[in-house]
Amino acid sequence: MVTSAKKLRIFSHHDADGIASAAIAVFVAKRLGLNYEVTIRNQLTPQDVFGGSDIYWFNDMGSARLNDMRNVSGIVTDHHTPIVMETHYTKDGNNIYQFNPHLEGLDGSISQSGSTTSFLFATNVLSEVSAVSHLPVIGSVGDLHDKKFGRLVGTDREIMLLAKNMGIIEVKEDIRYYGRSSKSVSYMLRFGNDPRIKSLYDNPNAVADFLSGHGFDRRNLKSIRWLDLDQKKKEELIADLKDMVERGGGDSSRLIGEVYEMKGEPTTSMIKDLRDFSSLINATSRKGKPDVGIRLCLFERGEVMKEAMQLYSDHLDSLRNASKALEAAEGKTVGNVLYYDFGEKLQNNITGTLATRIITHMNVPKTTVVVVMANLGNTKKISARISLELSERVDLSVIFRQAADTLGGSGGGHRNAAGAIVPVGKEVEFVEKVNELMKNNETT
């Protein structure tokens, strides 16, 4: 179907996993000499799911919208909870082949990302797709699939090992705090959260004291990255950090784990570390230039990298503004749901980012559903996160889908991360419905 397409319409989600997925599809289309068009979406629109003569390829999205599609011929490679448990969907004039780990009894929120699913499908179409086997690794770490176990697992791991064997990436044991190549050591330690060191967390003076005690010049703390340090200095810091974690009653084993690096990328590059790579391509998309992220994924550098870095800087400004809006906002609670409605004060494409920040960095109970809303035309864009512990007992994607459906909206996602769109004016009712469904669906 894909190989014979007169025109291939590639749709992909706007996060790092989606951009990596889109890059895989573009690589396939180019190698096959296909006429193609790429559309990056926060959420599929009604027009997107009404097909025609073209062949569609939905990446990292689509499984939650199969029953809305009409006369679509194509492929869905997704890892979000599907609404239709069929590999070949022919209802309503459709001819859709769905590839989704949930159909195989796998957990798409931890063992197989959207980009891994897209890659696995692509191997059946083009054997040389192994040349971009680093892309599923970028997408998987961007979706935090390595968080629970400190390494990638399941099918994600199989593709990661392929990329390693292809000589594209390197796998190392190192500190797992975010920002090894994109942030200063002082920033990385200040916001290192898993495990959190209470004496250092969000305490710049304490971090400066800690680093100066290890021979760092306080005047240069903002310019030294973790990847700039030699192995001896890293080991010295890690030993001390582990001791601090243990004295605070934390699990020091979570400090160290697998990290993934681009083998041919210089240590000075922000995208040496693949988690930082995922942050960069995510930023290009959030600032409206996903094509720049796709080109980076496919080994373009130079001016492309320069533009990407500017978009990353602009995205950081947006996140700073979002943080200020959060500081000024007053969250409201309905049962165990903590929700923030920012209206027009927040870009609607970073609601998920802010929800992740709240549940990761704010001291909220592990039973809390964190919900962030922003206006999207005459609808509300809603994102939510719950702790991994709570996701063992409830599936947030199912709850969001059910709550949104009753209000004329749409929803879906993963067990611990979900999103929805509902009409303006229905948002409080949506929150109340989510709280009710959480109570009804939680198992002991």
| Number of residues that make up the chain | 444
In this structure, the answer to whether residues 269 and 408 fall within a common structural domain is no
Sequence letter at residue 42: N
Do residues 72 and 202 both lie within one domain? no
Residue 249 located in a structural domain: yes
Q: What is the pLDDT, as a whole number, of residue 205? A: 96
Cα separation, 146 vs 157, in Å, equals 9
How many domains does the structure of the chain reveal?
3
Alpha helices in 60-184 (DSSP H): 114-123, 134-142, 154-165
294 and 409 inside one domain: no
Residue pair 2/10 in contact (Cβ under 8 Å)? The answer is: no
Checking if the pLDDT of 268 tops 60, the result is yes
| 1: confidence class by pLDDT, cuts 50, 70, 90 | confident
Q: What is the pLDDT of residue 442?
A: 65
In angstroms, the CA 25 to CA 59 distance is 8
Report the CATH number at residue 398. 3.10.310.40
Whether pLDDT at 439 is above 50: yes
Q: Give alpha helix (H) positions in 143-230.
A: 154-165, 185-190, 204-212
- pLDDT greater than 50 at residue 431: yes
- b/e map 242-281, b = 16+ CB within 10 Å: bebbeeeebebeebebbbbbbeebeeebbbbbbbbbbbbb
Tens-place pLDDT, residues 44-88: 988 999 998 999 999 999 999 999 999 999 999 999 999 999 999
Distance CA 365, CA 344 (A): 28
Mean pLDDT (the chain) is 94
Domain finish residue from 322, 347, 380: 322
- pLDDT of 167 reads 97
Residue-wise pLDDT tens digits, 386-426: 998 999 899 999 999 999 999 999 998 889 999 999 999 99
In this prediction, residues 351-359 reach a mean pLDDT of 92
Determine phi and psi for 118, rounding to 5 degrees: -60, -40
Q: What is the structure's pLDDT at 360?
A: 85
SS3 at position 379: strand
Residue 443, pLDDT > 80, answer: no
| Span 327-350, pLDDT tens digits | 888 899 999 999 999 999 998 989
DSSP sequence for 179-203: -TTTSBHHHHHHS-BTTB-TTTTT-
Statement: residue 444 has pLDDT above 50? no
Helix (H) or strand (E) holding 306: helix 303-328
Mean pLDDT of the region 229-253: 95
Domain that includes residue 65, residue range: 8-131
Q: What is the pLDDT of residue 362?
A: 86
Does residue 440 have a pLDDT over 90?
no
Q: Establish if 426 belongs to a structural domain.
A: yes
Residue 146 is assigned to a structural domain of this protein: no
Q: Are residues 300 and 179 in the same domain?
A: yes
Q: Which of helix, strand or coil describes residue 302?
A: coil
Six-digit token string for 268: 């000075």
Whether residue 154 lies inside any domain: the answer is no
Percent of the chain beyond pLDDT 70? 99
What residues contact residue 253 under an 8 Å CB cut-off, 6+ apart? 150
